[in-house]
Structure 1
């Protein structure tokens, strides 16, 4: 039976100047007091009684869901009985010895017929007695020379007994970790007079330093950090001074209603949360899920997600997840039942909402949406109105994508002033500075991406916005840029043809055209330049402009390359408008105009949590679990639309009309590891196809079923959905418009799509768009899996973000090396030396070298192929980072041509390492020979920025 040393130390309850509790003599009439075994006197509370009885029940009946409700109710009744007994005996108050209380607990258990539990409790008391007998004569196991300074300035001996218990609890159930080693090292960092807050810090730092030798120490470190979190939150709420993790079976249900009331009082959470059955929700909390966290994930939650008052966190992990679940269920008819359903999904890590939803659900201003897309009009009032909208949306944690294509170019005529325009760039400087100024309440920097079409006359200057040289007044160092590329431009690059640049005020309809209609109108305007009807234009070689795009992308990481035509031709909402840009992280493709700011709400399925182990040691996708997860996730995302706080009316208008959501995934690399499939393989590409097909199928079905329950979205009629055209079918539309010679994409299926088409045509859809794969860097950190669809960056490295520095070790590699007897101190040293790469470590077998290739060791064609297979199932897009080692102009040229040729809608960051020698392309399919034809891009001359951006870029978190 588990025991605790937490409650026997008088020094935690009384100031040291009154060891016998003299000042408690003035206790209010009627109050009971307890004489502890060391003679100190403390106020009577029933928390310790509940904890002890609960432990006795758990030791006999376990902690399964079926037993938890009975245990909770029975413990509450028995605790009340014991307390009532003493109040009857001493109605005017008095003192009781601790042994008397324990005797009454035994009697209460026996009288209620809980004989097995009573026996367990007797054994528990006996074990505690033996433990006390082994301690020092003072009744405590204290350090002989270290005293701890408390917040009030008093000092008390370091409680070694509690320290040992907390460390043992943190190591419980974990292989290859040593509680003794953690304690021994931690004590070396303590000194006489150490502040009480530094005791836990010493434990955390000690365990954290051991992570590189054994991955399980990451779990140990998180559990040690939990001790600090429990003390901070429970003490603030007045529930307990401190607690062990085992105590949380009792304290979590007690803390939830107190937290709700305190949060409402402090105006931190919504009074709507009072309307739930808090007792039922408290009983549904699962304290054992606190142990799922790795250190990075828990520290991230603590630093940036938990609600706080004067820098004191008042949330604990399970209360945090329940607060989010309650916020998302607040408009449901059976809100308590739905909140438990949502909580179970979040707290299990099967699915995670995006950062804005985690920040703000259940608060007074629930801005839960991730992405906002706007089109900037071509007039001064509209331009500055758009910049104001940026500020308001950014203030409440939204990520922004601005379409700047309508704004006239440098040198264009302005009728109102009879002057000439300064073009787009000066306004973008203002946008850049606004993003810096409005930093989302200090939680993270404002984040915006400006989009410009490739035919815009300002495109060449736009490409240079992120350069570190040149006129700084025409540079934007703190915002992102993206090139919105029409198919016609890519065809001209392949054909080594000319390309004409225009000012949008002279060719106003190009902005809203795509496909063959765009090509026809564009060629019409080109003819006008030759006839003299159009005066303001510039003609360049398409290949030269393409070279400049790639050179700037390599040098500055911008602009990102995104493709206008597939985003529009495959959009389910073609009948309702035009997709003019993507968003901050290039995965959202929604219509925008003057009246509508597009909004998308994001969340991600944790693919790793849906893999079922097989007898041969591999794993396969659990389709039944995945369907259940996706169904609940889509409901949660749909709820966001109705609950969300909209800081600009155009966003509310758009969201209620179309109701788009973006369900994505994370943990793709983890899922491959569990199947022993290398990322650089046909099997990985096939798994990308099959897993996304399943998510797509279940997400579309879930939205259609919601339509049957709640009604179709307003603009459903006329959409591709209404015509029975699903994302997989829309490939044909792209092929017809672009031309089959310029598209190579797999169209194979495995599920019963015909029946789903009929379901959608019968029931309709609740959401205009359902899927989008976001970066997920932060929520992947929280859940402890690889982000999004990314390959592993390194197998051992130190990750830096706003929460500090964290050693990250690939647990799958460690497990496989242990199984082969290869994991030792030398291997750790080798991994450090080779920066997390296994390729040059001779004693690692070839199959493991293939499996554990890192991001820059995976040829980009595999990333593009896997993304192409996913894209065929997605009604929006995916945030695809491209890693290119040995980068050269030719390799960039081939990779990005291949991305277009394979039907991708967008790409995200280029993460590049420079080449020392020219390398050949790995694109070897015959049909792609045309990709490498024509003039290759010029070899980049500048040194690359480190991976083009930080691997945990806080600018990107709106989508994470």
Structure 2
């Protein structure tokens, strides 16, 4: 009843008379494997014909319908071809089923649900017919195939090795079948297949099974490991070499020496690593840890992290972790012992360093820091130096936060030219374009966030920067933006009072003042404006500006809302400067000035690895944090600084940011739903433990290495720890005290800190961990789960992600079957609407948009009391309204949060419900087409909250 891509005339259909849409540009060199094993040239025009028939069969063949179908089909075909060819590792050959998977995904993305439904039904019927008529001679036919080596020689396909690799990949994993993968693999084989394609075939076969059994993600990773071993060993040996995981275990030490020698020769590895005791180092490698990856994690490392020369990856996972560990141990006294200690921690996934550290440790340019914060002065030299600094810092994977508040506003007088300023926006446009030009060597896009204080006269234009309408010369479509909001503004919002905007050239001290001092100066300037003594000022209702801030946040996803006073009042370093902004991901709160560019060095503890069903494993956590803090402190001395202001700041204050990831995974081990008081208590308990051990470890480092130079006069030196600084914020606001409950011996630690000092001015910050959590196979940062079954897109491609814990629970209750998989797809990865799922599992596995936002804020507030910096806190609002957003962000401020990050919202999602089998199609499941209620949003506005799966939204990690 429905057209197939490989059938001349499907049952019940005659050729239609309407001319099909023109085929997209040709795709030379790509081949198609038919189901009978025959290989033909890939012809996109056949997709056009099939799609045209499909649409006309469902919608009719009138002239008007034909014209409409022509345009739709052309667009869909382009998407399908792009999906098939976008991944470099897929090779240049597609199976007919891969093409049909892409057709389904394109139809569902385009919301052509009737056509897609009919297509799915037709494919299922045809699959049943083929299964009934399947030949039992397939294994023998496969055994007779040949493969083509890299030098073009045809040799018999080694079916025995293929079966051995599959058996090894499935060994020790429950509910997976080597036979099932082999059957799917054979479907993709053809006579003369290249060795490269033969290596990919079982990987792609195993990937198709992940949605039904999460352990196939582990199998896919092991098969990718086989491909990587062949690539690495062949490159190092200069001839084709392959080794199974078992064989590699004995070869790893010799491989490591050859790898290190080649990396130094290729000028990719610091020659100083060759001076280590390599016998001792190589003997410490644990090849079996190659087996702990999920496919997403290993593919991410393969695509973006492993060293390569002339297109060949030659760095295996354990060599990668050891290279990073050695790079971080270069200045240690017993550097071999420390390198092994660091390696054992990294390769266990108990802790993971941030992406810049993983990229660059042990290389010739070890830029290991994650985040840089700058403040831009109010003169052309300073402005363009700031933009140049952005380029230099971004070149080696740094994320940037720029404070632009000092730049005078639109209409302000320019003494040198006797003219009027065009304001801050034109310079932001230049900064935006610079970030795009510097793409970090293709590893990820340059990324920057601009901050502006709420009293700046250009604030309303600043709010519009991410809009898709208006003068494009005054838009920054690729740069993040954030409001830097003083408490006084929020108080005026609460009281429905007035708010006055100024140009900073007339009010220079407002930039550096906080709390009561800011209030006094601001009110004095308001009085001057009322007397007509200010050249540039404008007054409006605070609530009107607040509503506009929330409207634009909802409409464009920016600017984020961050709070100036908590960041400064609770800053340990208020005695030597001012926090003028946060960073790209809103978790760093460090001082900036003309002379100092703030730098932060990040890493994250895997909380899942430190809990058991009985609770937090405190001894293991203490060991992890102690070693992690030493690694982060080492970054400061080893780091390659691209500008002197960054080096000066980092060596003077030595801040680091230890965070956490896998928070919701830990809750699920403990059987605690995210949205409840017990989850808030665990957020409190777990962060208290991390804080205690991080501060203690920095104190130990101060004993060994000396306190950081600017320690005297800091809150630390006065015995004021993060838990104590809550009282300072409470006093400044004149409000009731925040929760200050504690369970550990803080008084003893407080005395140690005041006597011994700390090695680091700041110790904690919770980053997004968008990529390193993928590497470790855990949930991102402190995030609730996005969905329990979805396709995740990032710079490595698209990956089926299944919540393995949910699957285990459903299996235990006899509920995991094909119907459950289908239901999860239909309900966008949520178990909430599925009747047969018990209520306790619905609560435990509730997804982000099923959890009231207030729970996220309450948990974050409990963490914030222990953290000397901030946390990247995304807020999920399933059905945003003006009232809901207003309540949410006022609550965040009242609870003392320093910052918030993305607002993620949705209404009618358009998830590909037909299939997740072809994971080359992007799933963007947070498409918010919403209408706010009490906030005025234009009828044509669409919610542009950052997609969960945006490949470019990798942030700091």
Q: Under a length normalisation based on structure 2, what TM-score does the superposition of the two structures give?
A: 0.82
C-alpha deviations, 1:613-660, integer Å up to 9, x for none? xxxxx3411000000000000000000000000000000000000000
The CA distance in 2 between the partners of 1:883 and 1:563, in whole Å, is: 19
Residue of structure 2 in register with 1:563 after alignment: 563
**Range moving further from structure 2, 530-539 or 223-232:** 530-539
Which is higher, the Rg of structure 1 or of structure 2?
Answer: 1
The CA distance in 1 between the partners of 2:252 and 2:300, in whole Å, is: 21
C-alpha deviations, 1:83-132, integer Å up to 9, x for none? xxxxxxxxxxxxxxxxxxxxxxxxxxxxxxxxxxxxxxxxxxxxxxxxxx
What does residue range 98-497 of structure 1 map to in structure 2 within 5 Å?
143-238=142-237, 241-497=241-497
Conservation of the 8 A alpha-carbon contact between 2:768 and 2:955: no
> Is 1:663 equivalent to 2:662 in the alignment?
no
C-alpha deviations, 1:887-941, integer Å up to 9, x for none? 101000000000000000000000012499xxxxxxxxxxxxxxxxxx9952534
For the structure 1 residues 197 and 945, does the alpha-carbon distance in structure 2 shift closer, same or farther, using more than 3 Å as the test? farther
C-alpha deviations, 1:793-837, integer Å up to 9, x for none? 000001111111110000011000000000001100110111101
User: In the TM superposition, what is the alpha-carbon distance from 1:143 to its structure 2 partner?
Assistant: 4.4
The CA distance in 1 between the partners of 2:369 and 2:567, in whole Å, is: 21
User: In the TM superposition, what is the alpha-carbon distance from 1:237 to its structure 2 partner?
Assistant: 1.4
The CA distance in 1 between the partners of 2:943 and 2:523, in whole Å, is: 41
Match of 2:723, SS state, is coil
Conservation of the 8 A alpha-carbon contact between 1:400 and 1:449: yes
Q: Number of residues paired by the alignment?
A: 796
What does residue range 749-828 of structure 1 map to in structure 2 within 5 Å?
749-828=742-821
Residue of structure 2 in register with 1:725 after alignment: 720
The CA distance in 1 between the partners of 2:469 and 2:738, in whole Å, is: 40
Conservation of the 8 A alpha-carbon contact between 1:372 and 1:597: yes
Residue of structure 2 in register with 1:950 after alignment: 947
Unaligned runs of 5+ in 1: 1-139, 613-617, 917-934
Match of 1:841, SS state, is coil
User: In the TM superposition, what is the alpha-carbon distance from 1:145 to its structure 2 partner?
Assistant: 2.5
The CA distance in 1 between the partners of 2:236 and 2:673, in whole Å, is: 49
The CA distance in 2 between the partners of 1:248 and 1:449, in whole Å, is: 45
C-alpha deviations, 1:472-522, integer Å up to 9, x for none? 000000000000000000000000000000000000000000000000110
> Is 1:679 equivalent to 2:674 in the alignment?
yes
The CA distance in 1 between the partners of 2:334 and 2:876, in whole Å, is: 47
Residue of structure 1 in register with 2:857 after alignment: 864
The CA distance in 1 between the partners of 2:334 and 2:943, in whole Å, is: 50
For the structure 1 residues 848 and 941, does the alpha-carbon distance in structure 2 shift closer, same or farther, using more than 3 Å as the test? farther
Conservation of the 8 A alpha-carbon contact between 2:656 and 2:764: yes
Conservation of the 8 A alpha-carbon contact between 1:546 and 1:937: no
For the structure 1 residues 572 and 941, does the alpha-carbon distance in structure 2 shift closer, same or farther, using more than 3 Å as the test? same
Match of 1:450, SS state, is strand
User: In the TM superposition, what is the alpha-carbon distance from 1:611 to its structure 2 partner?
Assistant: 1.1
Residue of structure 1 in register with 2:513 after alignment: 513
The CA distance in 2 between the partners of 1:792 and 1:344, in whole Å, is: 28
The CA distance in 2 between the partners of 1:645 and 1:899, in whole Å, is: 37
User: In the TM superposition, what is the alpha-carbon distance from 1:279 to its structure 2 partner?
Assistant: 0.9
Residue of structure 2 in register with 1:694 after alignment: 689
For the structure 1 residues 517 and 954, does the alpha-carbon distance in structure 2 shift closer, same or farther, using more than 3 Å as the test? farther
The CA distance in 2 between the partners of 1:946 and 1:318, in whole Å, is: 43
User: In the TM superposition, what is the alpha-carbon distance from 1:532 to its structure 2 partner?
Assistant: 2.1
Conservation of the 8 A alpha-carbon contact between 1:557 and 1:945: no
User: In the TM superposition, what is the alpha-carbon distance from 1:158 to its structure 2 partner?
Assistant: 1.0
For the structure 1 residues 682 and 910, does the alpha-carbon distance in structure 2 shift closer, same or farther, using more than 3 Å as the test? same
Conservation of the 8 A alpha-carbon contact between 1:450 and 1:480: yes
Conservation of the 8 A alpha-carbon contact between 1:712 and 1:766: yes
Conservation of the 8 A alpha-carbon contact between 2:795 and 2:952: no
C-alpha deviations, 1:697-753, integer Å up to 9, x for none? 000000010000000000000000000000000000001111215xx6321100000
Residue of structure 2 in register with 1:876 after alignment: 869
After the TM superposition, which parts of structure 1 deviate over 3 Å for at least 4 consecutive aligned residues? 140-144, 939-947, 952-958
The CA distance in 2 between the partners of 1:942 and 1:900, in whole Å, is: 30
The CA distance in 2 between the partners of 1:556 and 1:948, in whole Å, is: 6
Conservation of the 8 A alpha-carbon contact between 1:351 and 1:604: yes
Conservation of the 8 A alpha-carbon contact between 1:684 and 1:866: yes
Conservation of the 8 A alpha-carbon contact between 2:556 and 2:943: no
> Is 1:539 equivalent to 2:530 in the alignment?
no
The CA distance in 1 between the partners of 2:662 and 2:751, in whole Å, is: 32
For the structure 1 residues 590 and 263, does the alpha-carbon distance in structure 2 shift closer, same or farther, using more than 3 Å as the test? same
The CA distance in 1 between the partners of 2:170 and 2:840, in whole Å, is: 32
Residue of structure 2 in register with 1:747 after alignment: 740
Match of 2:283, SS state, is helix
Residue of structure 1 in register with 2:844 after alignment: 851
The CA distance in 1 between the partners of 2:160 and 2:936, in whole Å, is: 65
User: In the TM superposition, what is the alpha-carbon distance from 1:185 to its structure 2 partner?
Assistant: 1.2
The CA distance in 2 between the partners of 1:856 and 1:781, in whole Å, is: 21
Conservation of the 8 A alpha-carbon contact between 2:257 and 2:278: yes
Conservation of the 8 A alpha-carbon contact between 1:914 and 1:943: no
User: In the TM superposition, what is the alpha-carbon distance from 1:954 to its structure 2 partner?
Assistant: 5.0
Superposition RMSD on alpha carbons, in Å?
1.6
The CA distance in 2 between the partners of 1:242 and 1:777, in whole Å, is: 33
The CA distance in 2 between the partners of 1:628 and 1:417, in whole Å, is: 61
Match of 1:222, SS state, is helix
User: In the TM superposition, what is the alpha-carbon distance from 1:952 to its structure 2 partner?
Assistant: 4.2
Match of 1:539, SS state, is strand
The CA distance in 1 between the partners of 2:174 and 2:415, in whole Å, is: 75
Conservation of the 8 A alpha-carbon contact between 1:884 and 1:913: yes
For the structure 1 residues 291 and 909, does the alpha-carbon distance in structure 2 shift closer, same or farther, using more than 3 Å as the test? same
Q: Under a length normalisation based on structure 1, what TM-score does the superposition of the two structures give?
A: 0.82
For the structure 1 residues 142 and 647, does the alpha-carbon distance in structure 2 shift closer, same or farther, using more than 3 Å as the test? farther
